[in-house]
């Protein structure tokens, strides 16, 4: 059997690094922001995940929610499916979101197991706080409603003992935020910390990844939190299970919402 | 609920925005595998998953007025207690196979004025219990199940395959809780842009109802009839399911109930049509005219006509059938549409037509009439502290003869000319539950404008934990005793409730 010689290996490694490092160094803030957004709070495309959300209010009141989530790109549109497992009042409720065409809002359908019927859901406002959690549509739909192109590099920092690029940008008019500062892990492009101000420039929320794990060919923030600095409330997201999604296209249709 | 869905949306958006082109955009040198020093997330071992859910709901009510005991056998309960429990297990055997088994139990107790004639019953039943088999084109469900036809969850005219529990309070019970699961086979599939549903219910199951002896019984004093016999309260409730029937529809190999539904969606508007051919779930009771005359005389406290009495005795001796209680079949055709209005309100529209449906006259004799039904519903479609829904139900029954009167649907003055009978009913619900708070306040009500009868049920609730909540409600009826909602007018009560969920 042919064995590579150590010297040759080292040379190849050095050559690879020399090729790789300048390429990363030249990456624009917009490219980093885009890759980071794609890794969002969770990167579930092609995966099925079981998630737990725990919200603790300022007065210490805790509430837990458990969901399963899966997403698949069908044609040009991302189809996403969430099923509620907790709390008891919403067990079996399922939500199908079909990404809208460019410039159009997503189509959202809600399955109510007690009624055995699918309801249409209004396009939710990005800034709205949902289910008494500290996340909003804008928080999880990227890093805060800012465009990739407006992000600018603002140096480097360390988060979770890992090197991160610091990007700063102004949020768009639809966003509930004024300015967004994103710390992007340099090895994985996962956003490890995001700081938001409100429209008046006051500190508003902080997103923090607490644990990263490899799953297959990607890295996922398996534990993260969103803290509302103005209300003192914190929501933790925890990934309990992850698996490759084996779901066919038909699993992301309204008729499949009742499958449970 | 709407907050729950919105959170789902939020999480979905995260996944939605995660790119699908991971491999192309991030070559191996950028892969997190290359020296990130991160732990690997262990994939779970594939296998069946089991989810157990259940709950308990207790209601206790006291009437606001204590009616003295009546001599016609239709005395009211002044105190009522009810408990409903369910326990369900949902087993996902694989991605294409799912088994659900649910058990339900109902306990009910009540007493008349002075705590007289106290009684109780316990009724364990099978809830939903079905096996699902999912394929690429068709999802099959076989077993005890709840079927949904039409757009409106409570009043869609073709949603008649499941019997209802008519022993439930109209305003204190969720409409979906009154729907009883039936054994059925259902296929749900897609053909092009159409979603198709085909359902077959081979075995007949009637509505659950009380003829008398409960506050929601079919016979109330407003009808002017009396119970011609006295029954001990200990067996009264056990008798009810078979009191009005003498014969049930044949089961296999006969047809049973069938239903077909097709829906599609264009530009955000879901529309569809359905057809159901089913047995009605209340019997047509026909009394021999001579026997009927005797019973009515007894109800009025008059001595029986001797000639009639002898005639009835002779005919009974000869083996004649003087009472029949049979279930008629009906076709129901429906059109439905659902759309979002102003991006915040859901509009549901159902139109139904049945060429022949059973109504009853004021003597409770069955009348077969065609009927057109229109249902318009609006409800909340976005997350809010304030939740509402309103439904208008319109019923038109043409070809009502001059000497006929549709009991409760029409006022007594309607008689006298051939006409189309109309019923209008507005049902509304509103609830205010501030985000993050443990309390809520709301009401449910119904108003019928022709005879101006209504029912109103205000309610306050308090949630102690995710699993335990309590409530206090009132149920207030108004209208003439012979009107759609005033018929239950003596049931005004204060109700306390406790709900426990697993």
Residue (of A95, A65, A78) closest to A245 by Cα position: A78
Query: How many whole angstroms separate alpha carbon B442 and alpha carbon B453?
Result: 21
* Tens digit of each residue's pLDDT (9 = 90 or more) over B402-435: 999 999 899 988 988 999 999 999 999 999 998 7
Residue (of A163, A136, A143, A169) closest to A40 by Cα position: A143
CATH code reported for the domain at B51-283+327-501: 2.40.160
From chain A residues 12-51, the ones with a CB under 8 A of any chain B CB are 16, 20, 24, 35, 37-46, 51
Question: Which helix or strand (DSSP H or E) is residue B308 part of?
Answer: helix B306-317
A255 and B188 within 8 Å at the Cβ level: the answer is: yes
At residue A150 the predicted structure's pLDDT band, cuts being 50, 70 and 90, is confident
Q: How far is CA B408 from CA A73, B363, B384, B488, in A?
A: 55, 11, 38, 11
* Tens digit of each residue's pLDDT (9 = 90 or more) over B16-65: 333 333 333 333 333 334 455 688 887 666 678 898 999 999 999 999 98
A28 and A146 Cβ atoms separated by less than 8 Å:
no
Residue A174 has a pLDDT of 66
Residue B485 has a pLDDT of 92
Residue B16 has a pLDDT of 33
Q: How far is CA A2 from CA A5, A199, B339, in A?
A: 9, 63, 68
Task: Establish how many alpha carbons lie within 13 A of residue A73's alpha carbon, considering only the half-sphere containing its beta carbon.
Answer: 12
Q: Which two tokens stand for residue B294?
A: 């005797």
Question: Is the pLDDT reported for residue B165 higher than 90?
Answer: yes
Closest CA–CA distance from residue A92 to any residue of chain B (Å)? 10
Residue of B5, B189, B379 lying closest to A95 (CB–CB): B5
Q: Is A131 on the interface with B (CB under 8 A)?
A: yes
Contacts of A88 in chain B (CB under 8 A): 53, 55, 466-467, 501-502
Per-residue burial over B54-93, b = 16 or more CB atoms within 10 Å of its CB, e = otherwise: bbbbbbbbebeeeeeeeeebbbbbbbbbbbbbbbbebebe
Average pLDDT score over residue span A34-49: 69
B352 and B159 Cβ atoms separated by less than 8 Å:
no
B134 and A80 within 8 Å at the Cβ level: the answer is: no
**Dihedral over Cα of A26, A27, A30, A36: its sign:** negative
Residue of A51, A135, A217 lying closest to B31 (CB–CB): A217
B431 and B2 Cβ atoms separated by less than 8 Å:
no
Domain ranges of chain B: 51-283+327-501
Per DSSP bridges, beta strands A162-170 and A177-185 are antiparallel
Average pLDDT score over residue span A37-41: 61
Q: Is B501 on the interface with A (CB under 8 A)?
A: yes
Name the region of A105 (left: φ>0; alpha: ψ -120 to 50; beta: rest).
Answer: beta
From chain B residues 411-470, the ones with a CB under 8 A of any chain A CB are 435-436, 466-467
Question: Is the pLDDT reported for residue B188 higher than 50?
Answer: yes
B270 and A120 within 8 Å at the Cβ level: the answer is: yes
End-to-end Cα, chain B, rounded Å: 17
Question: Is the pLDDT reported for residue A16 higher than 50?
Answer: no
* Tens digit of each residue's pLDDT (9 = 90 or more) over B209-266: 999 988 889 988 888 888 878 889 899 888 888 889 999 998 766 789 999 999 999 9
Residue A30 has a pLDDT of 86
Residue B25 has a pLDDT of 35
* Tens digit of each residue's pLDDT (9 = 90 or more) over B307-331: 989 999 999 999 888 899 999 999 9
- Greater confidence (A207 vs B9) lies with A207
Q: Is A210 on the interface with B (CB under 8 A)?
A: no
Query: How many whole angstroms separate alpha carbon A17 and alpha carbon B171?
Result: 72
Question: Is the pLDDT reported for residue B280 higher than 80?
Answer: yes
Closest CA–CA distance from residue B494 to any residue of chain A (Å)? 25
Residue A166 has a pLDDT of 94
Residue of B22, B139, B381 lying closest to A218 (CB–CB): B22
A89 and B19 within 8 Å at the Cβ level: the answer is: no
B289-299 vs B306-317: helix axis angle to the nearest 10? 130
Residue B95 has a pLDDT of 84
Residue B439 has a pLDDT of 94
Residue of A81, A91, A120 lying closest to B338 (CB–CB): A120
| Preferred mutation among A62, A214, A220, A224 to probe B, highest tally of B CBs within 10 A | A214
Residue B459 has a pLDDT of 96
Q: Which two tokens stand for residue A136?
A: 């909003």
Closest CA–CA distance from residue B365 to any residue of chain A (Å)? 34
A-B CB pairs within 8 A amount to: 252
A81 and A70 Cβ atoms separated by less than 8 Å:
yes
Helices (H) and strands (E) in chain B, counts: 5, 21
Question: Which helix or strand (DSSP H or E) is residue B194 part of?
Answer: strand B194-201
Q: How far is CA B474 from CA A88, B85, B169, in A?
A: 26, 22, 12
Question: Is the pLDDT reported for residue B343 higher than 90?
Answer: no
Residue A105 has a pLDDT of 66
Most confident stretch, A5-14, A140-149, B207-216: B207-216
Q: Is A89 on the interface with B (CB under 8 A)?
A: yes
Of the listed ranges A40-54, A64-78, B237-251, the one predicted with least confidence: A40-54
Residue B421 has a pLDDT of 96
Could you tell me what percent of chain B has a pLDDT over 90?
60
At residue B6 the predicted structure's pLDDT band, cuts being 50, 70 and 90, is very low
A48 and A251 Cβ atoms separated by less than 8 Å:
no
Residue B15 has a pLDDT of 35
Angle at A86 between CA A82 and CA A87, to 5 degrees: 125
Closest CA–CA distance from residue B449 to any residue of chain A (Å)? 28
Residue B299 has a pLDDT of 72
B15 and A70 within 8 Å at the Cβ level: the answer is: yes
Count of beta carbons in the 10 Å neighbourhood of residue B236: 20
Query: How many whole angstroms separate alpha carbon B399 and alpha carbon B421?
Result: 8
Contacts of B30 in chain A (CB under 8 A): 24, 189
B11 and A20 within 8 Å at the Cβ level: the answer is: no
B41 and A215 within 8 Å at the Cβ level: the answer is: yes
- Greater confidence (A26 vs B115) lies with B115
Question: Is the pLDDT reported for residue A138 higher than 80?
Answer: no
SS (HEC) of chain A: CCCCCHHHHHHHHHHHHHHHHHHHHCCCHHHHHHHHHHHCCCCCECEEEEEEEEEECCCCCEEEEEEEEEEEEECCEEEEEEEEEECHHHCCCEEEEECCCCCCCCEEEEEECCCCEEEECCCCCCCCECCCCCCEHHHHCCCCCCCHHHCEEEEEEEECCEEEEEEEEECCCCCCEEEEEEEEECCCCCEEEEEEEECCCCEEEEEEEEEEEEECCEEEEEEEEEEECCCCEEEEEEEEEEEECCCCHHHHCHHHHHHC
At residue A147 the predicted structure's pLDDT band, cuts being 50, 70 and 90, is low
Contacts of B381 in chain A (CB under 8 A): 119-122
Residue B181 has a pLDDT of 97
* Tens digit of each residue's pLDDT (9 = 90 or more) over A191-208: 899 999 998 999 999 999
Residue B17 has a pLDDT of 32
Question: Which helix or strand (DSSP H or E) is residue B117 part of?
Answer: strand B116-134
Query: How many whole angstroms separate alpha carbon A85 and alpha carbon A74?
Result: 25
Of the listed ranges B14-28, B287-301, B351-365, the one predicted with least confidence: B14-28
Q: ipTM of this predicted complex? A: 0.82
Could you tell me what percent of chain B has a pLDDT over 70?
91
pTM of the full predicted structure? 0.83
- Greater confidence (A45 vs A139) lies with A45
Residue of A20, A80, A219 lying closest to B16 (CB–CB): A80
Q: Is B310 helix (H, G, I), strand (E, B) or coil?
A: helix
| Preferred mutation among A53, A58, A82, A251 to probe B, highest tally of B CBs within 10 A | A82
Question: Is the pLDDT reported for residue B81 higher than 90?
Answer: yes
How does DSSP assign B133-178, residue by residue? Answer: EE-SSEEEEEEEE----SS-TTT-TT--SS-BBTTS-TTTS-GGGG
Query: Prior bond to B312 cis, omega within 30?
Result: no
| Preferred mutation among B1, B2, B3, B18 to probe A, highest tally of A CBs within 10 A | B18
**pLDDT, mean over chain B:** 87
Q: Is B277 helix (H, G, I), strand (E, B) or coil?
A: strand
Count of beta carbons in the 10 Å neighbourhood of residue B412: 11
Cα of A77 vs its chain's centroid, Å: 17
How does DSSP assign B352-414, residue by residue? Answer: EEEEEEEEE-TT--EEEEEEEEEEEEEEE-S--SEEEEEEEEEEEEEEE-TT---TTTS-GGG
At residue B457 the predicted structure's pLDDT band, cuts being 50, 70 and 90, is very high
Query: How many whole angstroms separate alpha carbon B482 and alpha carbon B488?
Result: 9
At residue B174 the predicted structure's pLDDT band, cuts being 50, 70 and 90, is confident
Cα of A196 vs its chain's centroid, Å: 16
Question: Is the pLDDT reported for residue A144 higher than 70?
Answer: no
Burial label, B456 (beta-carbon count in 10 A; 0-12, 13-18, 19+): middle
Question: Which helix or strand (DSSP H or E) is residue B447 part of?
Answer: strand B439-448
B14 and A140 within 8 Å at the Cβ level: the answer is: yes
Question: Which helix or strand (DSSP H or E) is residue B422 part of?
Answer: strand B419-432
Query: Prior bond to A87 cis, omega within 30?
Result: yes
Residue B46 has a pLDDT of 64
CATH code reported for the domain at A41-259: 2.50.20.10
Q: Is B424 helix (H, G, I), strand (E, B) or coil?
A: strand
Residue B458 has a pLDDT of 96
From chain B residues 29-58, the ones with a CB under 8 A of any chain A CB are 29-33, 35-36, 38-41, 43-44, 46, 51, 53, 55
Closest CA–CA distance from residue B30 to any residue of chain A (Å)? 7
Of the listed ranges A30-39, A209-218, B109-118, B190-199, the one predicted with least confidence: A30-39
Question: Is the pLDDT reported for residue B202 higher than 70?
Answer: yes
Name the region of B41 (left: φ>0; alpha: ψ -120 to 50; beta: rest).
Answer: beta
Q: Is B314 helix (H, G, I), strand (E, B) or coil?
A: helix
At residue B453 the predicted structure's pLDDT band, cuts being 50, 70 and 90, is very high
Query: How many whole angstroms separate alpha carbon B81 and alpha carbon B83?
Result: 7
Contacts of A16 in chain B (CB under 8 A): 29
Closest CA–CA distance from residue A68 to any residue of chain B (Å)? 10
């Amino acid at each position: 059997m042919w064995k590579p010689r150590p010297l040759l290996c080292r040379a190849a490694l050095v050559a690879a690094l020399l090729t790789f490092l300048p390429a990363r160094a030249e990456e624009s803030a917009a490219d980093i922001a885009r890759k980071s957004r794609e890794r969002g709070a969770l990167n579930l495309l092609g995966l099925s995940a079981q998630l737990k959300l725990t919200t603790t209010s300022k007065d210490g009141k805790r509430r837990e929610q458990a969901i399963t989530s899966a997403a698949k790109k069908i044609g040009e549109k991302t189809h996403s499916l969430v099923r509620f497992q907790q709390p008891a009042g919403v067990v079996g409720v399922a939500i199908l979101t079909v990404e809208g065409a460019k410039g159009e809002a997503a189509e959202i359908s809600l399955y109510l197991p007690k009624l055995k019927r699918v309801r249409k859901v209004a396009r939710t406002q990005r800034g709205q706080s949902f289910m008494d959690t500290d996340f909003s549509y804008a928080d999880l739909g990227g890093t805060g409603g800012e465009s990739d192109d407006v992000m600018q590099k603002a140096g480097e920092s360390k988060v979770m003992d890992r090197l991160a690029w610091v990007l700063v940008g102004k949020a768009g008019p639809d966003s509930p935020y004024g300015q967004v500062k994103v710390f992007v892990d340099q090895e994985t492009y996962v956003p490890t910390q995001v700081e938001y101000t409100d429209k008046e420039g006051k500190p508003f929320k902080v997103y923090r990844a607490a644990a990263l794990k490899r799953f297959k060919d990607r890295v996922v923030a398996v534990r993260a939190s969103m803290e509302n600095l103005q209300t003192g409330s914190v929501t933790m997201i925890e990934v309990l299970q992850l698996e490759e999604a084996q779901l066919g296209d038909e699993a992301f249709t309204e008729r499949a919402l009742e499958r449970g | 609920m709407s907050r729950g869905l919105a959170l789902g949306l939020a999480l979905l958006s995260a996944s939605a925005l995660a790119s699908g082109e991971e491999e192309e955009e991030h070559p191996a040198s950028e892969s997190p595998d290359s020296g990130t020093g991160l732990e690997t997330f262990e994939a779970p071992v594939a296998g069946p998953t089991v989810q157990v859910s259940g709950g308990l709901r207790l209601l206790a009510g006291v009437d606001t007025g204590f009616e003295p005991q009546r001599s016609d056998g239709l005395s009211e309960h002044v105190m009522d207690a009810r408990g409903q429990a369910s326990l369900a297990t949902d087993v996902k055997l694989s991605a294409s196979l799912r088994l659900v088994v649910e058990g339900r139990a109902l306990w009910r107790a009540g007493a008349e004025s002075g705590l007289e004639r106290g009684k109780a019953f316990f009724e364990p039943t099978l809830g939903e219990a079905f096996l699902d088999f999912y394929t690429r084109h068709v999802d099959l469900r076989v077993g005890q199940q709840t079927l949904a036809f039409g757009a409106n969850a409570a009043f869609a005219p073709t949603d008649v395959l499941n019997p209802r529990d008519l022993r439930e309070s109209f305003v204190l019970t969720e409409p979906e809780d009154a729907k009883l699961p039936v054994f059925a086979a259902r296929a749900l599939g897609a053909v092009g842009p159409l979603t198709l549903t085909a359902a077959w219910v081979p075995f007949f199951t009637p509505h659950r109802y009380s003829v008398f002896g409960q506050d929601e019984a079919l016979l109330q004093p407003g009808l002017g009839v009396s119970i011609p016999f006295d029954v001990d309260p200990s067996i009264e409730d056990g008798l009810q399911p078979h009191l009005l029937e003498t014969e049930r529809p044949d089961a296999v190999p006969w047809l049973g109930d069938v239903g077909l539904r097709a829906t599609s969606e264009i530009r955000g508007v879901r529309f569809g049509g359905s057809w159901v051919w089913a047995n009605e779930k209340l019997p047509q009771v026909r009394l021999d005219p001579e026997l009927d005359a005797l019973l009515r005389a007894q109800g009025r406290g008059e001595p029986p006509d001797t000639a009639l009495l002898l005639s009835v005795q002779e005919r009974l001796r000869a083996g004649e059938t003087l009472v029949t209680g049979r279930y008629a079949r009906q076709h129901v055709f429906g059109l439905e549409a659902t759309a979002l209005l102003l991006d915040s309100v859901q509009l549901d529209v159902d139109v139904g037509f049945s060429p022949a449906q059973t109504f009853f006259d004021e003597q409770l004799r069955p009348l077969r009439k065609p009927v057109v039904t229109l249902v318009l519903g609006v409800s909340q479609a976005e997350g809010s502290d304030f939740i509402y829904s309103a439904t208008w139900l319109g019923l038109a029954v043409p070809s009502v003869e001059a000497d006929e009167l549709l009991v409760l649907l029409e006022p007594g003055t309607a008689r006298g000319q051939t006409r189309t009978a109309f019923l209008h009913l507005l049902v509304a619900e509103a609830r205010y539950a501030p985000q993050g708070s443990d309390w809520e306040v709301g009401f449910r009500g119904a108003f019928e404008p022709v005879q101006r009868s209504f029912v109103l049920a205000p309610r306050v609730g308090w949630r102690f934990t995710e699993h335990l909540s309590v409530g206090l409600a009132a149920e207030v009826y108004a209208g003439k005793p012979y009107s759609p909602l005033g018929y239950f007018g003596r049931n005004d009560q204060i109700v306390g409730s406790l709900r426990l969920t697993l």
